[in-house]
Amino acid sequence: MLSVRGLQKRFGARVAVDGVSFAIKPGEVYGLLGPNGAGKTTSISMIAGILARDAGEVEIDGLDIDAGPPARAQIGIVPQAITLYLDLTARENLHFWGRMYDRRGDGLRRAVEEALQAVGLTKRADDVVSTYSGGMQRRLNLACGILHQPKLLILDEPTVGVDPQSRSAIFELVERLRDEGTAILYTTHYMEEAERLCSRIGIIDAGKLITEGTRSELVADLGRAVRIEIGLEHDEGLERAVSVVTGLEGVHSAAVVAERLHVFADEGAHRLPPLLTALLNTGLVVANVKVVEPSLEDVFLRLTGRMLRD
């Protein structure tokens, strides 16, 4: 449904997107996962034809994006910023968007009711949008993007700053549209969301797609490895702990995450004693230890040397 090859964008001296290529099939949720500033928004803006590309090709359903309206009409994009008229009601906003997409009359009225239903806002449809919570505005923004039933739906970090109820409403809608055959491009910097929603994930960092695959393929690439999470008696020792364990045999990387030491290391119980001994020998007191399966966070750490959450 979507095919992107060699996408490139430069802002002055900074290369924001550097040769990004990927494809999405109908009924697939593709996650573009990467930290802030990685180039996600710039990439999707070029795919949607909102931003001029420096290089690269974009095809929607076999049509070159530059072919104009027929290709563009297949895309629904939901930007991160709210693009609603706050002093209009939800229904009025949707009618406005519908006319932008050239819908009229009964067809438009039906599409508006379906979109309201899809995001769970039917009951509030005649309230002015300025009375909505942030999460409700997000859902309405999403409704605007699906009004014309696009074959490719692009969502830019749709859950940032929304309440849990709106988040699950967004997840459910994404899953339903996917089941109906929509191709979905979902950008996020939340690893958990990519793991839960996306059939395939492309990890983007500094403008480059550094790896791509299903969650299990990406984690399998790490080989037989585990993540060891260590809590210390005193948090101020954490940075020192990173340097203590870095370089130990079998240790690939170490970082501080949420006040704990995360060590990514080869599998095997024999890894643990030297690790703990090294910490104890420098006077660091270990409070607790947990050994877990690696996640996409570890994939990112392995490939970039940094944590996704930085």
The stretch near ligand ADP (CB under 6 A) out of 10-18, 54-62, 211-219, 281-289 is 10-18
265 with 252: CB under 8 angstroms? yes
Our CA dihedral for 231, 234, 239, 241, rounded to 10 degrees, sits at -60
The stretch near ligand ADP (CB under 6 A) out of 40-48, 97-105, 132-140, 265-273 is 40-48
Told to check if 41 binds Mg ion by CB under 5 A, we report: yes
The token pair that represents 6 in the structure block: 């060699």
Query: Quick one: which of 2, 4, 7, 16 contacts ligand ADP (CB under 6 A)?
Result: 16
Taken as a whole, the chain contains a residue count of 310
**In angstroms, what is the minimal distance from the CB of 154 to Mg ion?**
12
Q: Rounded to whole angstroms, how far apart are CA atoms 209 and 31?
A: 12
134 with 162: CB under 8 angstroms? yes
Q: Are strands 200-205 and 208-213 parallel, antiparallel or unpaired?
A: antiparallel
Query: Quick one: which of 19, 26, 37, 231 contacts ligand ADP (CB under 6 A)?
Result: 37
250 binds, among Mg ion, ligand ADP, none (CB under 5 to 8 A by kind): none
| N- to C-terminal Cα separation, the chain | 33
Query: Quick one: which of 1, 2, 40, 228 contacts ligand ADP (CB under 6 A)?
Result: 40
53 binds, among Mg ion, ligand ADP, none (CB under 5 to 8 A by kind): none
Size of interface with Mg ion, in residues (CB under 5 A): 2
52 with 126: CB under 8 angstroms? no
Told to check if 38 binds ligand ADP by CB under 6 A, we report: yes
182 with 205: CB under 8 angstroms? no
Query: Quick one: which of 1, 4, 29, 39 contacts ligand ADP (CB under 6 A)?
Result: 39
Q: Which residues bind ligand ADP (CB under 6 A)?
A: 11, 14, 16, 34, 36-42
